Amino acid sequence: MNTKLHPKKGQLISTAFTACFSICLAGNALAATWGYTKHNGPDTWHNIAPMCKQGMNQSPIDISETIQSDLNPLEVRYQGKLTNFSNIGHTLQASFVGNNSVSVDRESFELLQMHLHTPSENLLNGKQYPLEAHFVHQNAEGALAVIAVFYTSGREANEALDRLIAIIPAAGEQIEMATSISPTDLLPKNKTFFRFNGSLTTPPCSEGVRWLVMKNQLAGSTAQIERLQKVMGNNNRPVQPRNARMVLH
Ligand SMILES: [Zn+2]
C-alpha cells in the first residue's frame, strides 16, 4: 500500500483493484478450463458452470415451428469501425469504436463485440451452416442481445471476410489497427429475423439473452470458411432443448 495516498482514496483504489482482480482472475480461470475437446467440451461445462445443465432456456437451438407475430423491425445504427481483432483461443473476436447501437424492444443496445463459430451453433429447420457470426450487444441495465448471421459457403469470396482473414492474429494475440470495416459490412441488407429467448452459448451459459437470428444468410467462399475453421477448430455448442420457448418471426 502506498502510504502517501489519502487513506480513503487508497482504500477505494485497493477495493476496486481487488474486485477487478477477482473478476478478471475468475474469468481467465473459467476461460482456461473449458473448450471443445472431449475432456473440456460442452458435456463437461456444467462442472464449472451449473447453469449450462440446469438452464431451461439454453442456446443454441434448432429454429423451427416458428410463430408469425408482430415484431418491431430491427433498427441497426452501426456507425463505427472495426479496430481490434483478437484470437482468444476458442474464437476470433472483433471489437469496434464509435457509436454502434441497435434498437430491440424500443431499448437501445450497444455493440460490445462480434465473434465467429465454425460450424454454426443455431440450426435452421435442422440445417447447420458452415459459419455463424454473433454480434453481442448490451443495454444500460446490462441485459444482452445477440444478432446471429449464418454464412453459406460457395464460390464467391465475401469482401468483408477477406479483410478480416487478412489480419487473423496468432492464438492468444490481438491486432489493433484502424480499418474501414464497418460492422454493417458483416450483416445482410434484409434484416428480418427470428426472435427467441436464450443464453450465452459458452460458460457461464447465463440466460436472459435476447436472440435475433437473421433470416437471410451471407455467403463466403469455401476457402474463406475453411481458413476460419482451421484457425478456430469446431467451436459450436450442440443445440439445446427448446422446452417451453417460442420462436417468433
Ligand atoms: Zn457466440
Q: How far is Cα 72 from Cα 156, in angstroms, rounded to an integer? A: 33
> Is there a catalytic annotation at residue 90?
yes
> Separation of 117 CA from ligand 1 center, angstroms?
6
Which member of 90, 117, 134, 137 is catalytic?
A: 90
Which helix or strand (DSSP H or E) is residue 7 part of?
helix 7-33
Identify the sign of the CA torsion 225, 231, 161, 183. Answer: positive
> pLDDT digits over 48-99, tens only?
999 999 999 999 999 999 999 999 999 999 999 999 999 999 999 999 999 9
Residues with CB under 5 A from ligand 1 (ion): 134
Please tell me which residue, 14 or 40, carries the higher pLDDT value.
Answer: 40
**pTM of the predicted protein model:** 0.87
C-alpha atoms less than 13 angstroms from C-alpha of 234 in its C-beta half-sphere:
9
Please tell me which residue, 23 or 63, carries the higher pLDDT value.
Answer: 63
> pLDDT digits over 105-115, tens only?
899 999 999 99
Residue 105: predicted pLDDT: 87
Which residue type occupies 246?
A: M
Task: Indicate if the pLDDT at residue 13 is higher than 70.
Answer: no
> Separation of 160 CA from ligand 1 center, angstroms?
19
Q: How far is Cα 213 from Cα 11, in angstroms, rounded to an integer? A: 46
> Separation of 214 CA from ligand 1 center, angstroms?
14
Which residue type occupies 110?
A: E
> Separation of 177 CA from ligand 1 center, angstroms?
23
Grouping H, G, I as helix, E, B as strand and the rest as coil, residue 245 is: coil
Q: How far is Cα 36 from Cα 38, in angstroms, rounded to an integer? A: 7
Which overall architecture, per CATH, does domain 49-232 show?
Roll (3.10)
Q: How far is Cα 193 from Cα 245, in angstroms, rounded to an integer? A: 16
Residue 79: other Cβ atoms inside 10 A: 13
> Separation of 116 CA from ligand 1 center, angstroms?
6
> Separation of 201 CA from ligand 1 center, angstroms?
6
> pLDDT digits over 164-194, tens only?
999 999 999 999 988 889 999 999 999 999 9
Cα distances (angstroms) measured from residue 130 to each of 5, 97, 118, 119, 222: 55, 28, 6, 4, 9
C-alpha cell at 126: 435442422
**Per-domain boundaries in the chain:** 49-232
